[in-house]
Amino acid sequence: MAHETTPLRWDWQAAELQRQKHFAKMVGFGTLTLVLVVVVGCSAMGDQSTVSAIRGDGAASTTCGTAANEAGYIKLPHKQDDQYFYWFFESRRAPATDPLVLWLSGGPGASSLFTLLSENGPCSVNEDLSTEINPNSWNNEANVIWLDQPTNVGYSIGSPADLDHNEDDVQDNIFWFLQGFMDKHPEYQARALFLAGESYAGHYIPAAAHKIYRENKAKRSHLNLQGIAIGNGLVNTVVQSEHGLDMVNNSYGVKLMEDETLQKAKIAEKQCTLLVAACQTNSSVCVDAGNFCQFNVMGAYIGAGRNMMDIRQQCTELDPINCYGDLVPRITKYLNSDVVRSYLKVSEVHPGPYETTSEEVEVAFAADLMKTFEQHVEELLNKTKVRVLVYHGDADLVCNWHGGLAWTKALQWPHQQEFNAAKECAFKVDDKEVGSVWTSNRLTFLRLSNAGHLAPMDQPEVALEMINRFLRNEAM
């Protein structure tokens, strides 16, 4: 398991020092500590919801192509001065009928704008800060919102009193953001809605879906939630902690640790699971549980000299996001450029610089990290018709596919036995086998080959076909 400059990343030194400043009782491991990073009264909303928004002019150098787009802020009515920033792109195909997707990156503290510009958005950023159209953008067949959240992530901003600490805060914020967006765009009120994200969004998405379900049931609102998609997500921390070492046996033939190291790590893995289980009823142990697991279990992989988010790559960087060259500084520079800030109209609301991740949010969510949220997925499967897609790039160590399949099989719902008995079938795109799929009724687990933690970046065509089939409710 793990932490994020996009979705879950590993930052051993700086983040640990930062956390020690805020948590006097934290278990410290000197300069060698892993940090998990990763990674969506209504009638009264209207006048409060929108701060600013703009329509795109189609200039590819700034707006990522010709699809109509809008960037702006939604002010959250239940907060003091919390303003959520989003960048919305209409579908390239049929915006009047295609579904609405809300994308959430992980972290905690990772900006969804980073994912937009590096994984599944309409364009990527070149070295000269021009943009290049992405033919495999997830808005090919969907209207997509990339949302910066929680509070103070990316270009979203709030007062000190608005700082979030857990999924209770997150679910309320996402719900009210969607209410504000629907007030502004009533044409999407009845449209099929999907929540999608990666990494720590394995916390965000189940919580937000739970909130939507409860509000719909109470008839306080109606959001037409049809499905959730979680990529390489941290969802059931207890079950996933039991599978932290499973990648030692991997399909890439990569030796990840020596036998002696493995034996010590296996002993630690059992203690890790006990601590994570205790965290579910005693929040005071959650920070220590996270640090113990990250150092003693995930830390055992470090000697292999591999990218923790993609074992196919040799990389000795302690923070694996640095294994991707200048990607982070390039996107940061682009989003801080005068022309882009002017286009997005962020300066009046957010005068400070854009950062891909927020250390403040990372620290604020330290006790939330090892909490488990599969109960909300069970609720969706038991009480609604919402469909669930769980997908994992199988070269990822941060949230590996073994743990993902295990927590999916552990879900308590009427079709659990059928799902667990489902055969592993080939997932094919253009008649080429690109992964494996397990599915029954409304639950699907997909293992993507030759992809790591950032699956849409590693396999863009495959990831696009995956999400489009899911949105269309087609067989994988």
| d(C-alpha 290, C-alpha 275), whole Å | 8
Enumerate the β-bridge partners of residue 445.
390, 438
In this structure, what are the phi and psi dihedrals at residue 242, rounded to the nearest 5 degrees? Answer: -75, -10
| pLDDT recorded at residue 79 | 92
Give the Å distances, CA to CA, from 455 to 208, 251, 435, 449, 463.
Answer: 23, 16, 12, 9, 7
| d(C-alpha 91, C-alpha 139), whole Å | 5
> CA torsion sign, 295 to 297 to 303 to 309?
negative
Task: Give the CATH number, domain containing residue 345.
Answer: 3.40.50.1820
Q: What is the dihedral of CA 261, 38, 173, 116, to 10 degrees?
A: -170
- Report the Cα 105 to chain-centroid distance in Å: 3
- Total-model pTM: 0.89
> CA torsion sign, 128 to 130 to 133 to 138?
positive
In this structure, what are the phi and psi dihedrals at residue 324, rounded to the nearest 5 degrees? Answer: -105, 30
Longest Cα pair distance anywhere in the chain, in angstroms?
63
**What amino acid positions are annotated as catalytic residues?**
199, 396, 453
| d(C-alpha 262, C-alpha 297), whole Å | 9
Domain hosting residue 461, numbered range: 1-476
Provide the terminal-to-terminal Cα distance of the chain, rounded to the nearest Å. Answer: 27
* Residue 137 near residue 328 (C-beta atoms within 8 A): no
C-alpha closest to that of 120 among 149, 146, 96: 146
| pLDDT recorded at residue 62 | 56
Grouping H, G, I as helix, E, B as strand and the rest as coil, residue 104 is: strand
What element of type H or E holds 464? helix 460-472
DSSP strand pairing (143-147 vs 100-104): parallel
- What are the pLDDT digits (tens) for 309-348? 999 999 988 888 899 999 999 999 999 999 999 999 998 8
Token code pair at residue 225: 């939630």
| pLDDT recorded at residue 236 | 99
| pLDDT recorded at residue 3 | 41
| d(C-alpha 309, C-alpha 401), whole Å | 12
Token code pair at residue 301: 């992989």
| pLDDT recorded at residue 426 | 98
DSSP strand pairing (131-133 vs 123-125): antiparallel
Number of domains in the chain: 1
Token code pair at residue 376: 């909300």
* Residue 211 near residue 221 (C-beta atoms within 8 A): no
Find where tokens 């901003």 sit. 157
Give 126-192 as a 3 state SS string: CCCCCEEECCCCCCCCCEEEEECCCCCCCCCECCHHHCCCCHHHHHHHHHHHHHHHHHHCHHHCCCC
Say how many CA atoms lie within 13 Å of 340 toward its Cβ.
22
Neighbours of 130 (CB within 10 A): 12
Residues of the chain below pLDDT 50: 1-60
* Residue 380 near residue 386 (C-beta atoms within 8 A): yes
C-alpha closest to that of 452 among 335, 324, 327, 362: 324
